Chains A and B, each alone.
Chain A
């Protein structure tokens, strides 16, 4: 039982970005991936979700033994994978409540209707935890949201969908310290022995709030170092130069 990535190679038309990436995230674990700009961190998250801009040329990814790469984007999500986007997209005219409801409905067997009362109860509870105003249920998905509100909305979706494996792609970028705390609390509330997390970040700061079990350093499309939480502090102190020496 794990999200298992083995020797993954992926490219965009003119160049290879992931060059033999391997990692196993087990339920209950929180992994952090740090790395300089252009190391392929965000590409990794999009490839795992099945973004059509990237072609996987070799390697494998399995989610609890199932071949993730053989699944469509939506099937990967329903199988238990979640990506908190670095830059969440806006969906004009689709209310946040309807969007999340459609995502939950898609997880039910055909012909079964989502219980609306239970849904809203849960939605409001999670929104309260994230200190989100109720007005966000009726507003169009991410439209006119501030950077911080968009990130809270990503975590709200995470909390509602309860995925087995979550990837947080630079969730801390553009957040002030208060928003960072709230978002981190949301993630921490979801930590459990049944769920694995992959936290991608450029800065060590986030890891003060979401404490990782294992920290990895990614450079040029693959992991070059792994260690405990202290590795993040070392990177913060010495900068990514040390990764070249490694």
Chain B
């Protein structure tokens, strides 16, 4: 049951999911709550609020919002997510079905921590709720918190996030710590027109290895908005694997702003899995800052009904001998729409860069539309770059072959679509994680079929 709305066109003014109430929104932060937070944080939060107020909403002519529009994330009528009942907390905890083997699991509901399990942590890895990390690891946060400015269109939303952030996970892996089991975080939202600001910060020391899975989910199908920020700092030779599994209700809206900094010989894999929401936007930047660094930027979306998925990426090569590989795959149904805009930037001096970018769209309906805008900017020598975008309907041959084995039409199409995105998911290289995400995709198909 998704919110009915016209397909967004740049010239159209109407937001995708109008809020239920258009009462003037007061999103002024309650700074008195920050009294025991470090001074630097208080002043940054205040500055961010000033910045939010001074920045305009991105306009129709903003390059970063081409074929989309910032009104899809209109803040009108929204309010800060409020207190929840005991029953809601219970529902959120029970609904947090994820991985069997985790090193830690945190569950947030309306930006409040409601469950914490960290007994699987080892080798000095720390997983803390944001508010606690501010108190106990203020120096680390001061060094890394949102230091990479959002610059793919959502500067205003990032400022709002920083003015309000109080929930989410701070993951600190010391040098050489190798954590096999993933860290799993659930962010639930409840209440009509609730606004949440989930935050994720992963700092991996030299040669450390961590895997983090974020879920964004709704307790009920109602209008709500998540403005999430996730930043990854990969030290020399470290490995970070990250998944943003966006499972919000069909009426909700999601924004995920993420930045990755990859130091020498480090590797970061990050997957955007877009399953829910009427409008979901991701902005992902990878700064390949150290020689020999590698970034795998992955994306999967399977929009149904009238969902819109809007993806903006930047592969930013700043050092020589760096490697980035972007693979985004979208399987579109019904009257859905995806927008992919990706830039490969090879900075002056980033010689011997390998940068690849591929966006592939499987159109399962004549009414679906996939927009792809790949881009390249090269200012170095000895560079290998390729980019490409394809959109095609399901292959008649593949479909015939499956049906000729007795598999009904709908199941055959589903098998092909799941197979289409499988190579993206399997690049995570973590069996239980892959299986768990596959299951979520299958569940989405089952929900649509029901």
Contact = CB atoms under 8 A, between A and B. Distances in A.
Contacts of A99: 402, 405, 415
B396 to A, nearest CB: 7
Given A72-B409, A74-B412, A91-B398, A49 B419 contact: no
A5 interface: no
A100 B238 CA distance: 40
Given A91-B419, A92-B423, A102-B411, A161 B405 contact: yes
A74 B419 contact: no
Nearest to A74: B403
> Among B396, B405, B407, which residue has the most Cβ atoms of chain A within 10 A?
B405
- Dominant SS at the B interface? helix
B397 A77 contact: no
Interface in B415-450: 415-416, 418-423
Contact of A106 (B396, B401, B406, B421): B406
Interface in B370-395: 395
Interface stretch (A82-90, A196-204, A205-213): A82-90
A7 B421 CA distance: 45
B396 A52 contact: yes
A157 B419 contact: no
Contacts of B416: 91, 94
Contacts of A157: 405
Contacts of B415: 91, 94, 98-99, 102
A114 to B, nearest CB: 13
A79 to B, nearest CB: 9
A107 B406 contact: yes
A107 B408 CA distance: 10
A73 interface: yes
A106 B416 CA distance: 16
B404 A106 contact: no
Contacts of A78: 406
A77 B405 contact: yes
A45 to B, nearest CB: 10
Interface string A29-65: 0000000000000000000011110000000000000
A83 B402 contact: no
A76 B416 CA distance: 20
B419 A73 contact: no
A140 interface: yes
A93 interface: yes
A103 interface: yes
Given A93-B422, A93-B423, A103 B398 contact: no
B420 A77 contact: no
A94 B419 contact: yes
Interface in A102-141: 102-103, 106-107, 140
A170 B402 CA distance: 20
B144 interface: no
B407 A74 contact: yes
A68 to B, nearest CB: 13
Contacts of A51: 400
Contacts of A107: 406
Given A77-B403, A77-B406, A103-B406, A89 B397 contact: yes
Contacts of B419: 91-94, 140
Contacts of B407: 74, 102-103, 106
B406 A89 contact: no
A93 B418 contact: yes
A90 B409 CA distance: 17
B59 to A, nearest CB: 40
A106 B415 CA distance: 13
Nearest to B415: A94
A161 B406 contact: yes
Interface of B: 395-398, 400-409, 411-412, 415-416, 418-423
Interface of A: 49-52, 72-78, 83, 85, 88-94, 98-100, 102-103, 106-107, 140, 157, 161
For the complex of A and B, the 3 pairs showing the least CB-CB separation, nearest first, are: A93-B419, A93-B422, A77-B406
Given A75-B406, A78-B406, A92-B419, 10 more contacts: A74-B406, A74-B412, A77-B406, A91-B402, A91-B419, A102-B407, A102-B411, A103-B405, A103-B406, A103-B407
25 contacts: A52-B396, A52-B400, A72-B403, A73-B404, A74-B404, A74-B408, A76-B404, A77-B403, A85-B404, A89-B397, A91-B398, A91-B401, A92-B419, A92-B423, A93-B418, A94-B416, A98-B415, A102-B407, A102-B415, A103-B406, A103-B407, A106-B408, A106-B411, A107-B406, A140-B419
